[in-house]
């Protein structure tokens, strides 16, 4: 074994969370032209966690390398540069203009992982554009690795085990697993740092490798078909009722929920 | 290859005009060379320069802009009103500027800086001003005046000693103005007398930005009043060498930014703390303020944009006579006009910055950018208050603060009259026989 651990983080370029999204004119998706994009916020948390682990881990548990990986169009490189500016050491870009489904992304990741052999893979629990929340789980399945999703605390112990606190419906659940493993991040895991100006400049010099899905021998053909994308119905104004009886009557006969 | 935008005839006229006045004051010769020691960041080839708009940023400039914008919104914005009311800068924000590398934008990496382009510094100043012009000017003075003086003129010893401190923890300020010397900067009275291996400095300075929090002071003083401007020398002074704050000014705007009167009483400064040559301080001051103006243009540009961004959403929330106020034609024409002016100020500012980066003459363009951006800032912030009506006049929204903050733009780093003088002087040279 080498003397330290290696972490791979997934980053996705998505429409910025502050943008008011609009459905495109052909109703096949949302408008992305001339719209501000940034790194998926959950992926930012993943990058930050990798960097914090490096700052925290000492001795045999030292983090030797952090690799950022993104699958997507040419502009995904901007997102990778951001990851490099935050503190990742090198980046891999799987370049494609095709729309990628979580299964395709998981397959691309598993192929890269079999080459790079990281000890830990940290992904956002979901991307804020499609909200799929599937890639991490599918990847764990494909690799037959343990997974700890919705992480709010991550600790590495003795170079070989992982303790993760997960946010579940009933509260917090603490799990341990062996390495290698997949972790997906929840919102409260950390607060990502800003990429400082000197680090933005240094990121330019860090290596960024580009490959294609074909190079990896992965079929990224869509398994799902999007029929139509529409805006949610506009909210109708509410009404004030005078009595409980009237409320029950409305719930029963108008809303038909009782 | 050096390609100038000035026509050949004009250049000949210029050369002739300069040849005819060999003994004129230093500013006369400014057009003949560019006073920018920064290396050019773009290849001066037709392929790259001719085809890009002024909105085209490099990838790192774009990333910095986005990072600073987030920092300003997340970290600075929640404190803006509190700092303005208290007339005090929050030390945590100054620390945040240092921690994120915003205080050594152009400083070489070997001195712990970001080693980024001049335009990067301009973008940082602009983005900060959109949220708080006070934080913006703190960062502007530190970067475009103080750091730049060290980078261009200081000895290796001074660079090694001070640039890393200025990039990571210690705030700087630029001490030129005095009670009797503002626009007439070279009438300064502060004396520096050589006594062995020290200079002893006596005098006082007025309206010194950042001086309340600064640790490193660039002080302009004369070693020999009989020599006129040729006695003026620039010194690096540390606070504990004997800088005393005589008074902190209470101001109309940029109230969180400290502006103080300083006094020096037999302050001993080592000989090696002279920046550049003895008697060449006037040259440093002129040259540094020439490019510093682009920073103030950026601050005023950001201020105008910030005021605009404050008022515009309100126009589509507030209804009168059954319509959004932003849908009335009288309002539409006003905000369209202001948007055009902000865009024009932005192009002037970025163009002056790019000219400087390319090593081309930029003094006239810098003066134009500073003059115009400060005028646009005043109009935009005034309109922003009006557009928001009664709400805009209250201190609950930042429109009135932008309006107070804008006035300084016509005053510091060369008043509007001085900018017009500079522009006129350079124009006249092109046409005078």
Mind listing the pLDDT tens digit for each residue in B181-227? Answer: 999 988 999 999 999 999 999 999 999 999 999 999 999 999 999 99
From B102's Cα to the closest Cα of chain A, the distance in A is 6
Asked if B54 has any chain A CB less than 8 Å from its own CB, the reply is no
pLDDT at position B8: 40
Of A3 and B374, the one with more pLDDT:
B374
pLDDT at position B97: 98
Determine the Cα–Cα distance for residues B385 and B399; give it in Å rounded to an integer.
Answer: 5
pLDDT at position B5: 40
The torsion region of residue B355 among left (phi > 0), alpha (psi -120 to 50) and beta comes to alpha
Look at residue B388 and tell me if it is in a domain.
yes
Look at residue B19 and tell me if it is in a domain.
yes
Mind listing the pLDDT tens digit for each residue in B388-415? Answer: 999 999 999 999 999 999 999 999 999 9
User: Out of B59, B71, B113, whose CB is closest to A198?
Assistant: B113
User: Which residues of A are less than 8 Å from B66 in CB distance?
Assistant: 38
pLDDT at position B20: 41
Mind listing the pLDDT tens digit for each residue in B133-155? Answer: 999 999 999 999 999 999 999 99
User: Which residues of B are less than 8 Å from A203 in CB distance?
Assistant: 60, 63
B253 and B291 part of one domain:
no
Return all residues near B78 (Cβ < 8 A) that are at least 6 apart.
none
B251 and B316 part of one domain:
no
pLDDT at position B119: 97
Mind listing the pLDDT tens digit for each residue in A105-121? Answer: 999 999 999 999 999 99
B151 and B266 part of one domain:
no
Confidence band, pLDDT 50/70/90 cuts, at residue B27:
very low
Per-residue pLDDT at A39 exceeds 50: yes
Confidence band, pLDDT 50/70/90 cuts, at residue B17:
very low
Q: What is the mean pLDDT of residues A37-45?
A: 96
Q: What is the mean pLDDT of residues A110-137?
A: 96
Contact B245, B204 (CB under 8 A): no
From A39's Cα to the closest Cα of chain B, the distance in A is 12
Look at residue B88 and tell me if it is in a domain.
yes
A13, A195, A197: best mutation site toward chain B, by most B Cβ within 10 Å? Answer: A197
The two beta strands, A208-211 and A90-95, are: parallel
Mind listing the pLDDT tens digit for each residue in B279-296? Answer: 999 999 999 999 999 999
Of B8 and B135, the one with more pLDDT:
B135
The percent of chain A in helix, strand and coil, each rounded to the nearest 5, is 30, 30, 45
User: Out of A38, A82, A198, whose CB is closest to B101?
Assistant: A198
Q: What is the mean pLDDT of residues A212-226?
A: 93
Domain final residue, candidates B151, B171, B191? B171
Domain final residue, candidates B233, B256, B279? B279
B188 and B102 part of one domain:
no
Look at residue B1 and tell me if it is in a domain.
no
ipTM: 0.83
Domains with residue ranges and CATH for chain A? 5-255 (3.40.50.620)
Domain final residue, candidates B279, B310, B342? B279
Q: What is the mean pLDDT of residues B361-382?
A: 98
CB contact under 8 A, A78 and B59: yes
B152 and B212 part of one domain:
no
Mean pLDDT of chain A: 93
Choice among A6-15, B49-58, B304-313 with the minimum mean pLDDT: B49-58
B324 and B202 part of one domain:
no
Look at residue B3 and tell me if it is in a domain.
no
B178 and B262 part of one domain:
yes
CB contact under 8 A, A78 and B71: no
Q: What is the mean pLDDT of residues B102-129?
A: 97
Per-residue pLDDT at B384 exceeds 60: yes
Confidence band, pLDDT 50/70/90 cuts, at residue B10:
very low
Confidence band, pLDDT 50/70/90 cuts, at residue B48:
low
CATH at residue B255: 2.40.110.10
B424 and B295 part of one domain:
yes
pLDDT at position A4: 82
Q: How many beta-carbon pairs under 8 angstroms link A with B? A: 55
Per-residue pLDDT at B49 exceeds 80: no
Determine the Cα–Cα distance for residues B265 and A175; give it in Å rounded to an integer.
Answer: 67
User: Out of A200, A202, A204, whose CB is closest to B67?
Assistant: A200
B74 and B166 part of one domain:
yes
Determine the Cα–Cα distance for residues B381 and B328; give it in Å rounded to an integer.
Answer: 20
pLDDT at position A237: 79
User: Which residues of A are less than 8 Å from B116 in CB distance?
Assistant: 197, 200-201
pLDDT at position A235: 82
CB contact under 8 A, B114 and A195: no
B193 and B231 part of one domain:
yes
Cis peptide before B84 (omega within 30 of 0): no
Asked if B110 has any chain A CB less than 8 Å from its own CB, the reply is no
Q: What is the mean pLDDT of residues B270-281?
A: 97
Mean pLDDT of chain B: 90
Mind listing the pLDDT tens digit for each residue in B322-364? Answer: 999 999 999 999 999 999 999 999 999 999 999 999 999 999 9
Q: Quote the number of domains for chain B.
A: 3
Chain B: residue nearest A38 by CA?
A: B66
User: Which residues of B are less than 8 Å from A81 in CB distance?
Assistant: 59, 63
User: Which residues of A are less than 8 Å from B104 in CB distance?
Assistant: 197-198
Asked if B66 has any chain A CB less than 8 Å from its own CB, the reply is yes
CATH at residue B288: 1.20.140.10
B388 and B254 part of one domain:
no
Of B75 and A1, the one with more pLDDT:
B75
Per-residue pLDDT at B6 exceeds 50: no
Does the active-site annotation cover B287?
Answer: no
pLDDT at position B33: 40
Per-residue pLDDT at A228 exceeds 60: yes
Q: What is the mean pLDDT of residues B65-94?
A: 97
Look at residue B2 and tell me if it is in a domain.
no
A16, A41, A200, A203: best mutation site toward chain B, by most B Cβ within 10 Å? Answer: A200
Q: What is the mean pLDDT of residues A38-52?
A: 97
The answer to whether the predicted template modeling score (pTM) of the entire model surpasses 0.80 is yes
Mind listing the pLDDT tens digit for each residue in A84-100? Answer: 999 999 999 999 999 99
User: Which residues of A are less than 8 Å from B112 in CB distance?
Assistant: 198
Per-residue pLDDT at B40 exceeds 60: no
B114 and B262 part of one domain:
no
Per-residue pLDDT at B365 exceeds 80: yes
pLDDT at position B51: 73
The two beta strands, B198-209 and B191-195, are: antiparallel
Task: Give me the domain span that covers residue B62.
Answer: 8-171
Per-residue pLDDT at A163 exceeds 60: yes
pLDDT at position B37: 44
Q: What is the mean pLDDT of residues A130-156?
A: 96
Chain B: residue nearest A200 by CA?
A: B60
pLDDT at position A160: 80
Choice among B53-57, B63-67, B352-356, B378-382 with the minimum mean pLDDT: B53-57
Mind listing the pLDDT tens digit for each residue in A26-38? Answer: 998 899 988 999 9
């Amino acid at each position: 074994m080498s003397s330290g651990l290696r972490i791979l983080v997934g980053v996705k370029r998505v429409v910025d969370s502050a943008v008011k999204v609009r459905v495109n004119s052909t109703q096949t998706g949302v408008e992305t032209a001339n719209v501000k994009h940034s790194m998926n916020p959950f992926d930012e948390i993943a990058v930050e966690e990798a960097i914090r682990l490096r700052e925290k881990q000492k001795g045999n548990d030292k983090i030797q390398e952090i690799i950022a990986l993104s699958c997507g169009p040419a502009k995904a490189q901007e997102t990778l540069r951001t990851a490099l500016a935050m503190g990742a050491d090198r980046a891999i870009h799987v370049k494609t203009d095709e729309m990628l489904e979580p299964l395709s992304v998981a397959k691309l990741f598993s192929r890269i992982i079999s080459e790079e052999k990281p000890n830990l893979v940290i992904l956002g629990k979901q991307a804020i554009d499609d909200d799929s929340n599937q890639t991490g789980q599918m990847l764990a399945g494909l690799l037959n690795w343990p997974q700890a999703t919705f992480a709010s605390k991550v600790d590495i112990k003795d170079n070989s085990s992982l303790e993760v606190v997960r946010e579940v419906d009933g509260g917090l659940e603490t799990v341990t697993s062996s390495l290698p493993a997949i972790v997906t991040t929840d919102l409260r895991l950390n607060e990502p740092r800003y990429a400082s100006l000197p680090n933005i400049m240094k990121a330019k010099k860090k290596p960024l490798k580009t490959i294609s899905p074909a190079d990896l021998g992965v079929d990224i053909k869509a398994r799902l078909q999007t029929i139509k994308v529409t805006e949610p119905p506009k909210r109708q104004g509410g009404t004030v009722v005078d009595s409980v009886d009237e409320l029950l009557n409305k719930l029963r006969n108008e809303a038909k929920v009782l | 290859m050096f390609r100038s935008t000035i026509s050949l005839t004009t250049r000949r006229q210029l050369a002739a005009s300069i040849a005819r006045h060999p003994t004129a004051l230093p500013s006369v010769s400014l057009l003949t060379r560019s006073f920018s020691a920064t290396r050019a960041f773009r290849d001066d080839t037709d392929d790259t320069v001719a085809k890009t708009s002024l909105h085209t940023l490099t990838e790192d400039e774009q990333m910095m802009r986005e990072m600073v914008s987030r920092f300003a919104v997340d970290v600075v914005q929640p404190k803006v009103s509190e700092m303005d009311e208290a007339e005090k800068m929050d030390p945590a924000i100054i620390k945040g500027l240092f921690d994120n590398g915003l205080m050594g934008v152009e400083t070489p990496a070997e001195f712990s800086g970001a080693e980024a382009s001049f335009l990067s510094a301009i973008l940082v100043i602009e983005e900060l001003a959109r949220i708080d012009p006070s934080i913006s000017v703190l960062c502007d003075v530190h970067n475009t005046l103080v750091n730049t003086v060290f980078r261009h003129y200081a000895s290796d010893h001074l660079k090694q000693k001070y640039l890393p401190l200025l990039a990571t923890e210690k705030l700087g300020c630029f001490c030129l103005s005095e009670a009797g010397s503002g626009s007439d900067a070279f009438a300064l009275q502060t004396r520096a007398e050589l006594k062995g291996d020290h200079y002893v400095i006596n005098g006082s300075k007025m309206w010194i930005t950042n001086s309340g929090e600064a640790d490193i002071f660039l002080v302009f003083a004369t070693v020999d009043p009989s020599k006129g401007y040729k006695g003026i020398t620039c010194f690096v002074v540390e606070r504990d060498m004997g800088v005393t704050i005589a008074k902190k000014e209470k101001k109309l705007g940029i109230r969180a930014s400290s502006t103080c009167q300083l006094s020096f009483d037999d302050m001993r400064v080592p000989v090696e703390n002279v920046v550049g040559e003895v008697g060449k301080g006037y040259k440093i001051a002129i040259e540094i303020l020439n490019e510093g103006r682009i920073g103030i243009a950026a601050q005023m540009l950001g201020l105008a944009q910030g005021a605009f961004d404050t008022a515009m959403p309100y126009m589509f929330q507030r209804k009168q006579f059954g319509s959004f106020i932003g849908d009335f034609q009288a309002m539409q024409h006003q905000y369209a006009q202001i948007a055009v002016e902000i865009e024009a100020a932005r192009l002037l500012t970025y163009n002056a910055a790019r000219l400087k980066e390319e090593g081309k003459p930029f003094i006239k363009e810098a003066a134009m950018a500073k003059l115009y951006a400060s005028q646009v800032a005043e109009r935009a912030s005034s309109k922003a208050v009006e557009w928001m009506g009664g709400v805009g006049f209250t201190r609950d929204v930042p429109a009135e603060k932008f309006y107070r903050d804008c006035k300084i733009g016509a005053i510091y780093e060369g008043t509007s009259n001085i900018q017009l003088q500079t522009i006129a002087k350079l124009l006249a040279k092109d046409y005078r026989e």
